[in-house]
Structure 1
Amino acid sequence: MRPRANTLGLLFHEGCLLVEEQHGIHSKGTGLFYRPIGGTIELGEPSAQALVREYREELNADVEIVRYVSCLENIYQIEGNVFHEITQLYMVSFKENALYKKKTFTVTEGTKTTTARWLPLTDLRKPETILYPVGLLDVINQEIYKGE
């Protein structure tokens, strides 16, 4: 298996990050975990364009790329299988301001449906909160405290 290139959008509002809630097997066990909205970069597709497409496909929402943030490399195991993701991170914003007032969003990816919601940064920092990809919380903390 080869590394997977993906892209995720960091969308903040009033001290919260928009994240997708997922339940299932993950690298730290089984149960609830979170990740920002995004997905796989298709061959020949720039990562920023892929992110805009993913928000449209998954949330039926248009976003604007604010700026590039960082790249994370995540190598992990699930049930003895090794996975490798290279993730491009962008700060994004909704083009439609009314979307910031929604408490939850239905995330549709193929036949799978999950929920996205605004998760307070204080909750993201709790030891029991599982956020992927690994290292993302460090990037978020650097971004938030950059100007201080």
Structure 2
Amino acid sequence: MIRRPETGQLFIDEVVEPGTGRMFHRPAGGGIEFGEKASRTLEREFLEEYGLAITVGRQLGALENHFTYAGQAGHEIVLVFDAQLAHPADYEPDRRTCLDQPNVTGVWRSPSEDAIPLYPDDLAGLLEADITTHVPADVP
């Protein structure tokens, strides 16, 4: 997860579900391609989706998520990594257009915000546990 240095906000995908208009938040990232390391997936996905270079740190945990999206049942394993934007100026915009998904926008949000659901369900707890047990790395 990328945290904004001044506020601790998370950079996440804000998704509007086609057909229902339901809005929710999820970690920015994407699917791992065969033979690809998870950290490389994050680097590739951030470039493809937002044109952003990132530096991937340690893995914070893994979460299992069962969900329904666009009327279809889904099941995923979400690998959560600490990461930083490569360029300090990239932390400035409050919203970013996703380049390959028209129903997704990159936004900053507080991990404790509850007005819009954050999935997977245990993500906020995982991040809170990490904050209390680790000192955040310096941001360039």
Specify the TM-score bucket, using the shorter chain as the normaliser: 0.7 to 0.9
* Match of residue 45 from structure 1: 36
Match of 1:136 in 2: 123
SS in 2 for 1:132: coil
**One of 58, 65, 82 as aligned partner of 1:74:** 65
Q: Distance in 2 between matches of 1:35 and 1:114?
A: 10
Partners of 2:17 and 2:103 within 8 A in 1: no
Letter in 2 for 1:20: D
Deviations 1:28-49 (A, max 9, x none): x861100121000011111110
Point out where structure 2 has 5 or more consecutive residues left out of the alignment: 136-140
- What's the secondary structure of 1:12's corresponding residue? coil
**Alignment partners' CA distance in 2, 1:122 and 1:138:** 9
1:46/1:23 CA distance change after superposition, 3 Å: same
Residue 129 of structure 1 and its aligned partner are, at CA, apart by 2.5
Q: Please give the secondary structure, in 2, of the residue aligned with 1:39.
A: coil
| Amino acid corresponding to residue 140 of structure 1 in structure 2 | L
The two structures, once aligned, show a CA RMSD in angstroms of 2.3
Q: TM-score, normalised by structure 2?
A: 0.83
Name the TM-score, length of structure 1 as normaliser: 0.79
- 8 Å contact 2:95–2:106 — kept in the other structure? yes
Offset at residue 121 of structure 1 (A)? 2.9
Identity %: 27
- 2:11 aligned partner, one-letter code: L
Per the alignment, in what secondary structure is the counterpart of residue 56 of structure 2? strand
Q: Which residue number corresponds to residue 63 of structure 1?
A: 54
2 CA distance for matches of 1:34 and 1:85? 15
Aligned residues between the structures: 133
